[in-house]
């Protein structure tokens, strides 16, 4: 086996800490139609499909769409996959019970406009589930390499959601303390990656695909080995100490 095939895409610790909370929230909501904006590696859509959920997944990376389509070609897959942006959905008639956008908003210059658009894509009483990196004081080379425009503060994000017509139901500051430590390593990697001559758009596309690890990496980074981190973060979800925010909000009635 060559070096090129000895590596594969795999979710990282930060994603796993977030995914545990996301799946718990979704299973409590039991939405009928789901839209995920920027599905990246597609891990979450595959899990939701196995649980019987359906809907639409969009990503502006052709590679992301092609990769997930290839992975799901052999079995029934209830999510349509399309290479497009959220703006392409504006003016359409399709509405969703749940819109998911994880690590997307921080890449968008006009985040207020995107939040308003996402609100318009939801059915009455529909839910928005999003995540963003937190605290500009934590800005580092990893943010720059990923093509981020900003990190968010708690009250800032709440205000932007309210202005877009959302009512916050859950607001978690996740990952503390383990992910805060991991982020320091990620920042060092980010400094090295900044040497790559990529545009902001290329960095955004690459950041959504996860990271490349040794082919046996799944035996070292998985739900079993991450259990202490999962349990620890539960103690601090309501405290503003984590490296990212996970928010569940509802489309407010008129």
Model confidence over 34-46: pLDDT tens digits? 999 999 999 999 9
pLDDT at 206 over 60: no
Specify the pLDDT at position 42.
Answer: 95
| Domain edges within the chain | 3-251
Q: Are 85 and 56 in contact (CB under 8 A)?
A: no
Looking at residue 221, its pLDDT comes to 85
In the chain, pLDDT over 70 holds for what percent of residues?
81
Residue at token pair 């996959």: 81
Distance CA 39, CA 104 (A): 9
Cα–Cα dist 146/196, whole Å? 12
Please report, rounded to a whole number, the percentage of residues in the chain having pLDDT higher than 90: 73
Residue 227, judged by CB atoms within 10 A of its CB (0-12, 13-18, 19+), counts as exposed
- What is the mean pLDDT of the segment spanning 67-90? 94
Q: How far apart are CA 150 and CA 106, in angstroms?
A: 5
Kindly provide the b/e burial profile for residues 48-80, where b requires at least 16 CB atoms within 10 angstroms of the residue's own CB.
bbeeebebbbbbbbeebbebbeeebeeeebebe
Residue corresponding to tokens 């139901």: 169
pLDDT band per the 50, 70, 90 thresholds, residue 63:
very high
Sign of CA dihedral 148, 157, 25, 113: negative
More confident residue, 107 or 199: 107
More confident residue, 184 or 49: 49
Residue 88, helix vs strand vs coil? helix
* Per-residue pLDDT at 190 exceeds 70: no
CB 58 within 8 A of CB 84: yes
Residue 24: its pLDDT value, please? 98
Listed range (148-162, 170-184, 233-247) with the worst mean pLDDT: 170-184
Q: Taking the model in full, what pTM does it have? A: 0.85
State mean pLDDT over 150-155. Answer: 98
CB 82 within 8 A of CB 56: yes
Greater model confidence, 74 or 115: 115
- Who wins on pLDDT, 254 or 131? 131
Averaged pLDDT score across all residues of the chain: 87
Q: How high is the pLDDT of residue 55?
A: 98
What is the CATH class of 3-251?
alpha beta
pLDDT band at 189; cut points 50, 70, 90? low
CA distances (Å), 47 to each of 41, 77, 78, 225, in order?
12, 11, 11, 19
Average of per-residue pLDDT across 112-138: 97
Q: Is the pLDDT of residue 65 over 90?
A: yes
Q: Tell me how far apart the alpha carbons of residues 210 and 15 are, in angstroms, rounded to a whole number.
A: 9
Rounded to whole angstroms, the Cα distance separating 39 from 102 reads 8
Which of residues 201 and 209 earns the better pLDDT score? 201
Q: What does the alpha-carbon distance between residue 178 and residue 230 come to, in Å, rounded to a whole number? A: 9
| Per-residue pLDDT at 173 exceeds 50 | yes
| Dist CA 19 CA 197 (whole Å) | 31
pLDDT for position 192: 53
Confidence of residue 10 (pLDDT cuts 50, 70, 90): low
């Amino acid at each position: 086996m060559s070096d090129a095939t000895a590596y594969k895409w795999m979710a990282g610790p930060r994603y796993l800490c977030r995914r545990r909370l996301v799946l718990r929230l979704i299973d409590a909501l039991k939405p009928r139609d789901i839209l995920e904006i920027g599905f990246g590696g597609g891990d979450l859509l595959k899990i939701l499909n196995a649980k019987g959920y359906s809907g639409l997944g969009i990503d502006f990376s052709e590679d992301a769409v092609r990769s997930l389509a290839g992975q799901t070609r052999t079995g029934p897959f209830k999510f349509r996959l399309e290479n497009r942006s959220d703006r392409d959905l504006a003016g359409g008639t399709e509405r969703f019970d749940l819109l998911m956008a994880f690590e997307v908003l921080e890449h968008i210059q006009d985040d207020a406009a995107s939040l308003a658009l996402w609100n318009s894509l939801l059915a009455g009483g529909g839910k928005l589930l999003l995540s963003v990196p937190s605290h500009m004081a934590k800005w580092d080379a990893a943010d720059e390499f990923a093509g981020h425009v900003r990190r968010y503060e708690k009250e800032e994000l709440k205000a932007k959601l309210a202005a877009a017509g959302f009512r916050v139901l859950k607001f978690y500051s996740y990952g503390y303390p383990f992910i805060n430590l991991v982020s320091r390593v990620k920042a060092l990697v980010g400094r090295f990656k900044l040497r790559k001559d990529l545009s902001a758009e290329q960095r955004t596309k690459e950041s959504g695909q996860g990271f490349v690890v040794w082919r046996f990496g799944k035996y070292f980074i998985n739900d079993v080995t991450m259990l202490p981190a999962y349990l620890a973060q539960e103690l601090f979800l309501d405290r503003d100490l984590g490296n990212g925010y996970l928010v569940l909000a509802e489309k407010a009635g008129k």
